Structure 1
Amino acid sequence: MDKTGKSLTGLALQKFRRNLWGVLSFIFITLLLLVAVFAYVLAPDKTANANWGDLAIHSKPPGFTVTMLRLPGNGNRTMAFSEYFTGIKNPQPKVPILNYAINGDSITFREYSTDPDLSVTKTLPLSEFSLTDGKTFEKEYISQQKFLLGTDSQGRDLLSRLIIGSRVSLSIGFVAVLISLVVGIFFGAIAGYYGGKVDAFVMWLVNIIWSIPTLLLVIAITLALGKGFWQVFVAVGLTMWVEVARVVRGQVMSIKQMQFVTAARALGYRNGRIIFNHILPNSMAPVIVISAANFASAILVESGLSFLGLGAQPPVPSWGGMIKDHYNYIILGKPWLAMAPGIAMLLLVLAFMMAGNALRDALDVKSE
């Protein structure tokens, strides 16, 4: 095929499409993005943060099924449009039961318990449910609920927590990488273009930050900003810009010697225009590659912070927090509680790394 008529972008896309693992990784990341955006549409538990749970059904294995009785409360209302993205904040209460019997105008049920001898028997009049017909009651208030991945230590649906927790991992990747790109490109560009004392100062700052262990620096920034969802994003982003700055600096130092930059100076263009309109667009290929790797690093750092209790705070689900809550269950014969978020994190990080490798090969002008 004649490649002379194709742009560099077209050639890079063609090479990327030939990389099977890169394409599969890109598809996986795209699907996970859709899952994160429509998490409350896909999650079985549609309460905010998938936080409904009952200690009576804690740590149940995958495929666990229980009879659920909805209690009088907020009514069986349909979800508002905004709740498809935020979850239901005031759900109708429900309770897992072992069995039930409708006697006339009342219902008698036994609450679920691992030991049936310890279960509590309760009776409620059907009038509290605004019903008097037993068949209608069974249809509207009794259901079978299946937990595909089982329940966690608080009796919450593990699959729902896993789906909604993907939002934290993907958000930390996007926000942290965006912050690192903005800060890193700015410092790297001015250091590479102006050189001299500006370059010496920026490289001194980069070396100082790089000499501090990443996790220790993130913990220090997190403690300064406070524990929380957005504070973690900022903290991780502020520790990842140094690598971007070094790459951009090297690219700018190389490109500023080229003839088109000399021509731009001769035409009287301002330094800012030369940097942002002429030099940076020609130095983005390695930045794109390093951004994919930084996505994976940000996800791992956030998971480490959540494991230490400094990440997203309960009840917000995060994969690192789920591992922290359940790692001791591995030796208690219930390894799936920690393995499920661990495998999800492994697949996401692996997908970003393989996509980054595919981008590196596709953007390498020296390769075929």
Structure 2
Amino acid sequence: MKQENGSFSQIVFNKLRKNTLGVLSFCVIIIAAIISIFSYLFASDKTENANRQDVTIAFAPIGYQQKTIEIPLPNYTGKTGFADYLFGKEIDSEQISITAAKINQDFVEYTPYLGNGLSGEPVKIATSTWTKHNIPFSEIEKEFVYTKTYLLGTDSYGRDFYSRLIIGTRISFLIGFIAVFISLLVGVTLGAIAGYYKGKVDDFIMWLINVVWSIPTLLLVIAITLAIGKGFWQIFIAVGLTMWVEVARVVRGQFLSYREKEFVEAAKALGFSDMRIIFNQILPNVVAPIIVISAANFASAILVESGLSFLGIGAQPPTPSWGNIIKEHYSHIILGKQHLAIFPGLAIMLLVLGFNIFGNVLRDIMDIKS
């Protein structure tokens, strides 16, 4: 048998680095994490939830270009701060699709686009609409009349579909992160107590585990969601409270094994408290299986959230989620706009596949028998 030198984490890292599938899946996860944190930096529409609507260009095709005029609103600032890149910018200007525009010292005249190749009556707006916001006259034509490109076209409300898809990454990734955190908090605690103390405490916790285990996950999530309400954070909590069972079962099994080891008996003989033995002596030895389960739970949480959003009880519009994006456009698969439903479906598949493969790779390389 080949002897590998270094700490356990170094050995795992070296094995992971040599595993092509592991590296690729890890890259997918890292890219998704970066996009979820800096969604508005990558999005074309930097308004909150990418919810700038223009029904005249609804269902525009991929790569669609439209001449646009941007008119400042009373709350116009013209600046994008650090917080705007994290949470989106408040809509402070109106973007109108046009076919032509003329600018002189007193007014701006534009011809609105009505859709389907039709144009409306010319509209005049005083140039003071821009200059009162300290926008030089010379910049009006350069900065506020332009051709806007929609990389993936627009959705049924004329919103930038690419931006909605990018920002939707945040919901799917965060649901996995927060749900796994909650499941670890509950599952590790109950599993450790059951496995260490055994007896009636173990019997009660196992009864609770079996009851929760017997209820279908989706039905349990729906029940919790209806009890605490529909919303952004509610769905995170609901999913997390249904995913602790598997963690608790595995941690309990590990604790039942380790509590009989010599180093635990030695700790008891030295007078260490139960909490110190549980968290300082035994728990570090069961981290590996917990990490593997967490990777699998990430994938499960993403699928559950997507299903709930599709059913209308997940993230609520206008917050973009891959699940509710599919819900809004799944009927267009047979109407010539397939990408509106297929692209978010592929995004879900890719992220879930990445977590599943990464979990399987971790399981293999963390197996001390291999």
Q: Does 1:110 align with 2:111?
A: yes
Deviation at 1:173, TM superposition (A): 0.6
Q: Decide which moves more: 26-35 or 182-191.
A: 26-35
TM-score using structure 1 length: 0.95
2: CA distance between counterparts of 1:260 and 1:134? Answer: 78
1: CA distance between counterparts of 2:328 and 2:271? Answer: 61
The answer to whether the Cα contact below 8 Å between 1:59 and 1:151 also exists between their aligned partners in 2 is yes
Q: Does 1:70 align with 2:70?
A: yes
The corresponding residue for 2:81 is 80
The corresponding residue for 1:248 is 251
1: CA distance between counterparts of 2:137 and 2:201? Answer: 80
The corresponding residue for 1:181 is 184
The corresponding residue for 1:48 is 48
Q: Decide which moves more: 60-69 or 4-13.
A: 4-13
Per-residue CA deviation, residues 6-65 of structure 1 (Å, 9 max, x unaligned), is: 222222221111111111111121122111111111111010111111111111111000
2: CA distance between counterparts of 1:103 and 1:230? Answer: 50
Deviation at 1:108, TM superposition (A): 2.9
CA separation of 1:71/1:189 partners in 2, compared to 1, >3 Å: closer, same or farther? Answer: same
The answer to whether the Cα contact below 8 Å between 2:178 and 2:236 also exists between their aligned partners in 1 is yes
2: CA distance between counterparts of 1:111 and 1:8? Answer: 65
The answer to whether the Cα contact below 8 Å between 1:228 and 1:311 also exists between their aligned partners in 2 is yes
The corresponding residue for 2:141 is 138
2: CA distance between counterparts of 1:167 and 1:353? Answer: 19
2: CA distance between counterparts of 1:179 and 1:79? Answer: 34
Code of the residue aligned with 1:348 in structure 2: it is L
The answer to whether the Cα contact below 8 Å between 1:98 and 1:113 also exists between their aligned partners in 2 is no
Partner of 2:241, secondary structure, is: helix
Partner of 2:100, secondary structure, is: strand
Q: Does 1:334 align with 2:332?
A: no
TM-score using structure 2 length: 0.94
1: CA distance between counterparts of 2:71 and 2:144? Answer: 8
2: CA distance between counterparts of 1:36 and 1:255? Answer: 39
1: CA distance between counterparts of 2:6 and 2:260? Answer: 27
CA separation of 1:225/1:76 partners in 2, compared to 1, >3 Å: closer, same or farther? Answer: closer
Partner of 1:112, secondary structure, is: strand
Deviation at 1:134, TM superposition (A): 7.8
The corresponding residue for 2:278 is 275
The answer to whether the Cα contact below 8 Å between 2:58 and 2:157 also exists between their aligned partners in 1 is yes
Partner of 1:59, secondary structure, is: coil
Deviation at 1:75, TM superposition (A): 4.1
CA separation of 1:279/1:103 partners in 2, compared to 1, >3 Å: closer, same or farther? Answer: closer
Partner of 2:93, secondary structure, is: coil
Deviation at 1:104, TM superposition (A): 6.9
2: CA distance between counterparts of 1:56 and 1:231? Answer: 35
Partner of 1:71, secondary structure, is: strand
The corresponding residue for 1:31 is 31
Q: Does 1:351 align with 2:347?
A: no
* Count of residue pairs the alignment pairs up: 367
Partner of 1:93, secondary structure, is: strand
The corresponding residue for 1:7 is 7
1: CA distance between counterparts of 2:57 and 2:316? Answer: 23
Deviation at 1:120, TM superposition (A): 4.2
Among the aligned pairs, what percent are the same residue?
54
Q: Decide which moves more: 132-141 or 307-316.
A: 132-141
The corresponding residue for 1:196 is 199
**Aligned ranges for residues 158-307 of structure 1 at < 5 Å?**
158-307=161-310
Runs of at least 5 residues in structure 2 that lack an aligned partner in the other structure: none
Code of the residue aligned with 2:227 in structure 1: it is A
Partner of 1:239, secondary structure, is: coil
The corresponding residue for 2:125 is 124
Deviation at 1:133, TM superposition (A): 9.4
The corresponding residue for 1:309 is 312
The answer to whether the Cα contact below 8 Å between 2:40 and 2:167 also exists between their aligned partners in 1 is yes
Runs of at least 5 residues in structure 1 that lack an aligned partner in the other structure: none
The corresponding residue for 1:154 is 157
Q: Decide which moves more: 88-97 or 248-257.
A: 88-97
2: CA distance between counterparts of 1:137 and 1:199? Answer: 72
Code of the residue aligned with 1:223 in structure 2: it is L
Partner of 1:6, secondary structure, is: coil
The answer to whether the Cα contact below 8 Å between 1:149 and 1:159 also exists between their aligned partners in 2 is yes
The answer to whether the Cα contact below 8 Å between 1:3 and 1:11 also exists between their aligned partners in 2 is no
